[in-house]
A and B are shown apart, each in its own frame.
Chain A
Amino acid sequence: MTQPHTLTEPTAITDSAPRKKRIALVASKGTLDQAYPPLILASTAVSLGWEAGIYFTFYGLDILHVDRFEKLKVASLANPAGPIQLPNALGAIPGATAAATRVMRKWMRNSRMPTIPEFIDMNRDLGVRFFACATTMGVMGVTEDDLIPGADIAGAAAFLDYAADADVTLFI
């Protein structure tokens, strides 16, 4: 029996690049202190040769918000490990959150750590994928124009599709 020629040709397999590891992060908090960890982990992952994606949801979406990401704050109330440690009765007074935020900014500046907008730029330049939670946008009235360029508006299914192929997944 003669086989058609096309069936006897070896299959060309040229895509032999090893699969990259992947980290999928959820950034759910919008305070200055909690904005750093996902951006540090994602930029490090790409530096290690991995792929990285961050799903910004609920208050975490402020990290992508053009009017808010330079103004993230640290809570002075109910934050016993914060930059200024106040009893809750004092942590609630006007100006206490601003004072705690100033102290943390100073810590970061003195340690030569990048600001949140600088970290966003670093991550974007490295190719970190940014997912903006579509439900958060709808609930909080955030539009695409409110977000830094390059964020993919997506829901939970899209993030899980990305995270299903991840080696490390963390919720922050």
Chain B
Amino acid sequence: MSTDKLIDRHDVSDNPMEDLDCSGLLCPLPVYKAAIVLGRLHHGDLLRLITTDPGALEDVPAMARQRGDRLVSVSVADGHQTFILEKGSLQ
């Protein structure tokens, strides 16, 4: 599924966005740090998470599933993964 379709399904362009750069960090640190930031966001807020750990491509979607957050988009470029996550209502 393309990133555009994901965003079209649910427009989040006006939601507040936080940035977290976890470049150079290995598991469990990107998930650990992302969960701390997500924990203080409000339902519907966005987190832009940047990682370089190849495992993050599996870990971040898994984190979103388990926490009840929504993975809005993933993009990969120049060895960096950029995830947009929307804080859910469960955690």
Contact = CB atoms under 8 A, between A and B. Distances in A.
Interface in B1-49: 24-29, 31-32, 34-36
B80 interface: no
Binding site secondary structure of chain B: helix
Contacts of B36: 47
B66 A49 contact: yes
Contacts of B63: 47-48
Nearest to B59: A44
B54 interface: no
Nearest to B35: A47
Interface string B42-75: 0000000000000000000011001110000000
Contact of B28 (A18, A40, A50, A112): A40
A122 interface: yes
B68 A44 contact: no
A44 B91 contact: no
A67 to B, nearest CB: 27
A111 interface: yes
B90 interface: yes
A66 B36 CA distance: 27
A113 interface: yes
Given A18-B90, A47-B63, A49-B67, 10 more contacts: A40-B28, A44-B27, A47-B34, A48-B62, A48-B63, A48-B66, A50-B66, A112-B26, A113-B26, A122-B32
6 contacts: A21-B66, A44-B27, A44-B28, A48-B35, A49-B90, A50-B66
